[in-house]
């Protein structure tokens, strides 16, 4: 995936942008056979407004999917606010094209609703949580769907000025309803991450 485009600052708090985004995805079955390739190209306009305690970003445009040759409207709305100095709440609604990561090659229209919250307990410790629901319609037949619910939490602790550790937990429930195949699967993931920043080099590991 790659994307880019110019952004113009209208005022100190308002800006607009024209964005181009392309995703190329290839899937090959482990036992050989056909290789599936999908290309998604999106053209969108972006409007961002920043208040003292609020941030609003609205995107809207079109997505073109190959090889199915279909164009559909896509976009997103993201609102974030700070009800308290150490708390950030984010709401995201989006409709976009995504590649299918399992079962078959191709693309899908993904409708996503997600709420996240970040709370800084004190200077070194921050806790994050998010819940989201996605309703995905597969190409070319939108009668086939993949519905998913996700819940995640992350605890970040700064060991030093340049080093931090994260403890992660992610729960995912997927409900698949495609031609001649229906099933549900749940997955639990736990992880530990160590991050190191090299300030003089402007790098992060």
**1-58, pLDDT tens digit by residue?**
999 999 999 998 999 999 999 998 887 777 776 777 888 999 999 999 998 889 999 9
Work out the average pLDDT over 144-155. 92
Q: Across residues 97-106, what is the average pLDDT?
A: 69
**Count of C-beta atoms within a 10 Å radius of residue 102:** 8
Cβ contact 4:20 at 8 Å: yes
Q: Do the beta carbons of residue 129 and residue 112 sit within 8 Å?
A: no
**For residue 35, which phi and psi values (nearest 5 degrees)?**
-105, 130
> 133: closest CA among 189, 93, 105, 99?
93
| Strand pairing report for 70-84 and 54-66 | antiparallel
Share above pLDDT 70 across residues of the chain, in percent, rounded to a whole number: 91
Q: Tens digits of per-residue pLDDT, 156-183?
A: 999 988 899 999 999 999 998 877 778 8
Say what the pLDDT of residue 102 is. Answer: 59
d(Cα 154, Cα 152) in Å, to the nearest integer? 7
Query: Is residue 101 very low, low, confident or very high in pLDDT (cuts 50, 70, 90)?
Result: low
Q: What is the dihedral of CA 93, 97, 99, 105, to 10 degrees?
A: 130
pLDDT score of 59: 95
Alpha-carbon span 45 to 64, nearest angstrom: 15
pTM of structure:
0.80
Residue 182: what pLDDT?
80
Average pLDDT, integer, range 107-119:
93
């Amino acid at each position: 995936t790659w994307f880019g485009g110019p952004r113009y600052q209208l005022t100190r708090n308002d800006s607009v942008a024209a964005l181009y985004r392309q995703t190329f995805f290839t899937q090959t079955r482990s036992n050989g056979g056909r290789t599936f390739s999908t290309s998604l190209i999106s053209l969108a306009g972006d409007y961002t407004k920043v208040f003292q305690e609020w941030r609003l970003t609205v995107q809207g445009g079109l997505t073109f999917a190959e090889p199915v040759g279909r164009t559909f409207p896509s976009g997103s709305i993201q609102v974030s606010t700070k009800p308290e100095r150490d708390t950030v709440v984010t709401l995201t609604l989006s409709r976009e094209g995504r590649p299918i990561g399992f079962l078959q090659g191709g693309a899908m229209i993904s409708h996503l609703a997600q709420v996240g919250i970040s709370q800084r307990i004190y200077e070194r410790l921050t806790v994050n949580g998010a819940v989201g629901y996605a309703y995905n319609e597969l190409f070319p037949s939108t009668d086939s769907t993949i519905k998913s619910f996700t819940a995640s939490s992350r605890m970040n602790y700064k060991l030093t000025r340049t080093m931090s550790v994260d403890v992660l937990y992610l729960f995912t429930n997927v409900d698949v309803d495609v031609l001649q195949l229906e099933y549900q699967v749940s997955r639990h993931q736990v992880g530990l991450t160590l991050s190191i920043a090299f300030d003089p080099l402007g790098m992060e590991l």
